[in-house]
Amino acid sequence: MNGKEKITENTSTHEHISSYAEHFGTWVALILLTLMTVFISTFGADLRTLTVATALLIATVKALAVALYFMHLKYDAKIYRAWMIIVMALFVFFLFMVTLDYITR
């Protein structure tokens, strides 16, 4: 990029600067969730068929924390959240259609 003319130069991507405390808080939550999911599965509160569902639910909460706080989705332009939702929805739909085939066979 030669950057000679800088009429629409856009250096900063967003105004918000996340604080160290916020990142640390997110990390604490993530670690607690990790220990919780390991605890549930190993020392098993016997949830039977719900074990996998619980593990995935906790994983999703963790993923949301990473996306919203570490990846700044919460503070970023709306379009990124919208795109993320569309991409996830697309994946869920792929999954739905393929599973439909397998469970009705």
Binding mask 55-94 for other proteins (x = CB under 8 A): xx-xx--xx--xx-xxx--------x--xx--xx-xx-xx
Task: Compute the distance between CA of residue 59 and CA of residue 46 in angstroms, rounded to an integer.
Answer: 19
Task: Compute the distance between CA of residue 55 and CA of residue 41 in angstroms, rounded to an integer.
Answer: 8
Among residues 103, 90, 24, 29, the alpha carbon closest in space to that of 61 is found at 29
Rounded to the nearest whole angstrom, what is the least distance from the CB of residue 48 to other proteins in the complex? 11
Q: Where are the alpha helices (DSSP H) in 20-77?
A: 20-42, 50-65
The interface with other proteins within residues 2-21 (CB under 8 A) comprises 2-13, 17-20
Verify binding: residue 46, other proteins, rule CB under 8 A: no
Verify binding: residue 42, other proteins, rule CB under 8 A: yes
Verify binding: residue 47, other proteins, rule CB under 8 A: no
Q: Residues in the chain, how many? A: 105
Binding mask 20-39 for other proteins (x = CB under 8 A): x--xx-xx--xx--xx-xx-
